[in-house]
Structures are given as structure tokens and as C-alpha cells.
Chains A and B, each alone.
Chain A
């Protein structure tokens, strides 16, 4: 049994839902993200939020998987502050939907001033509505700098770091994220993030407190079964089943349950 706490099912097939259910997936959370192209208007995001709060939960339910979501305009589309503010204004009308856990995946992409402005406005929205936050950290060479800028921004708003998950950590960011009291997510994604082997190395070096794994599977070359493959890697090394369960079920369950809306349906 496992939870994939970060996956973009809008980009995946129904066959993927079936394979995930067969592999033991009982619940997922799907943050709003970049669709691979820039949307031309705020209305495009409204339709996307309808999909995340209505269509995907029904599609997941066919396979006994509970679907939850996080709403935002992602940092890749935040350079246009005017559009970002129009989208931010639409988010409150979706916050009462039963599968909305909070604001996400917000963060930075290229660490620009406009991205940072829009990040602050998202954090303020989360603070105003007492919502949890799921953070996207930048890719590759931009990750270290961006992760620090994001954590500083969240601290400025007085948000409890225990209600914030900083995602896509790797060996050079995980220690600082955990030391500052945040939760950390390791993304099992080919080429640009962690492999299952490296994720298990990080557990062995940093422990399993406030740390989870996710696939972030999306429209790119990615793997919706990455979490069970990481479970398999842990078992292959001889880690106890309790440790496997902790990182792939209990930790995400504990963090996400702070929202008051997360359920595995069991």
C-alpha cells in the first residue's frame, strides 16, 4: 500500500490509474502545474481547476484511489504578473471543494523577481486562508539558490514550516530543508531528479523523519510507478517493512492529514 503525494494525472492515461491501483496506490495528490505550454488567459486555469477538483477525482475513484489537489499558477507562468494575479483571484472560489488541500505547487523556476513576487502573493493567500503549501523547487543548477529564496520567503510570512512540503529535494538541499523545520519530498524522476537508489541513499543518510517520496509523473518521460519501485529498492537492500511503510504511506499520511481533508478512504 502506498500514497503518491505528487503526480500529474491530467497528463496520464486511465491505464496508469489501473496500474497504480494494482501496485497498491490508495491515494494521490495532484498539484497544479505547467501544462507544457503557456495558457492564454485566466479562464484556461479556471477550466484546469475544474478538472482538478471534479474530473480527476471521479476518474481516480473508478480504481479505488482517493484524489486530492493543490491550486496555484505555477512559477513557469509567473513571469507575467498580470496573468498571475488574475489566476490568483480565481483560486478562492475553488477552496471549498472537498479535495483541495492547499496552495501548490508554488515556488520558483528561474529565480526571477516576478516569480518571487507571485510566490509571495501565493504564500499570503495560503496564510489568509490557513492553508497548507506544497512547494516546487527549481530545476538543476537553479535548485540550490531557489530553494533558499523560497524558504526565506515563507519564513517572512510567519508560516509554520511543519505545514509546508518543499519538494524535489536532492543531496545538496535536503539537509538544509529539514534543518529549517520543513517537510521534504524526493521526486523519483528520470535524468533530472532522484533515482530510487539515490532516494534510499538519502533516507540512509538523513533518516526518515519529515521526508517522503513521489513520482511527479507528468507529460514528460516519467514513471507513475516510481514509488512502488522505490519501495522495492528499499526491500532489496534489506530495510524493514516498517521503514518502507513509513516513507511511502505514514509520512505523507501524517503531513497531508493536517489539511483536515486528506483521506485514503480506508
Chain B
């Protein structure tokens, strides 16, 4: 099952929607940095928050010129351990596993 759209048609159909999403992302990073600066904390590039570190790493992947970006970003954010944990520490998930040890 191939994509019926030509590349130009993909851009025509989806560009404005994703232009807005890129601006949302830019504004989110600005918002984080303003809050960090106000609190005397590291901004996005040096943040110790695993989610922000994961976000920056994913953004770098988006422009690496390689295919399967969605799959690779999800894998980047995934827990790659293989054994069950001893006990569930909470019910929810935060969205990204720590990046170290990859």
C-alpha cells in the first residue's frame, strides 16, 4: 500500500499544520528557558530534566537526513532494558526514559 500523494501534494496538505506545530515547539522551549532563567536553573541545552534532554536529542534526529524519524525518535525515548522491574513505582509514564547508557 503506497502513498497516493506526490511530495508536493504532501507539502500542500500538511505544511501549515506542521508549521504551527514547529512554532508550538519553539514557543515551548522559549517558555521553558524563561522559567529556568527566572529560577536560576539550566536552560534547555543544559537541562537535567530527562524529558528536556530527550526532547533536544529527538530534535537533532529530525534533521540528520536519515529515514524512519518517527520510529527512531520513539526508540530514542524508550526504556531499552529487558528484565521486569521489581515493583511499579507509579501508574503513569513520563514520556521518555533517561538517555544515558545508550
Contact = CB atoms under 8 A, between A and B. Distances in A.
A142 B81 contact: no
B88 A79 contact: yes
A149 to B, nearest CB: 7
A114 B85 CA distance: 9
Given A140-B77, A140-B94, A113 B86 contact: yes
Interface in B43-102: 68, 70-71, 74-75, 77-82, 84-97
Interface string A227-256: 000000000111100010000000000000
A111 B85 contact: yes
B4 A116 contact: no
Interface of A is mostly: helix
B5 A140 contact: no
A208 interface: yes
B71 A138 contact: no
Contacts of B82: 145, 148
B74 A170 contact: yes
Contacts of A112: 84-88
A82 to B, nearest CB: 15
B88 A140 contact: no
Contact of B95 (A140, A207, A208): A140
Contacts of A142: 79, 93
Given A171-B68, A204-B3, A236-B13, A144 B74 contact: yes
Given A138-B93, A140-B94, A203-B1, A109 B88 contact: yes
Contact of A171 (B3, B5, B70): B70
B87 A114 contact: yes
Contact of A110 (B70, B89, B96): B89
Contact of B79 (A34, A79, A114, A145): A145
A116 B82 CA distance: 13
A30 interface: no
A72 to B, nearest CB: 16
Contacts of B14: 197
Given A110-B91, A238-B5, A144 B86 contact: no
Interface of A: 34, 76, 79, 109-116, 138-145, 148-149, 170-172, 197-198, 201, 203-204, 207-208, 236-239, 243
7 contacts: A109-B88, A110-B93, A112-B84, A140-B96, A141-B96, A171-B68, A172-B71
Interface of B: 1-5, 13-14, 68, 70-71, 74-75, 77-82, 84-97
What 9 pairs between A and B have smallest CB-CB spacing?
A238-B4, A110-B88, A172-B74, A140-B93, A144-B78, A171-B71, A139-B93, A141-B97, A112-B88
Given A113-B87, A141-B78, A243-B1, 7 more contacts: A109-B91, A113-B85, A141-B77, A141-B94, A145-B81, A145-B82, A203-B1
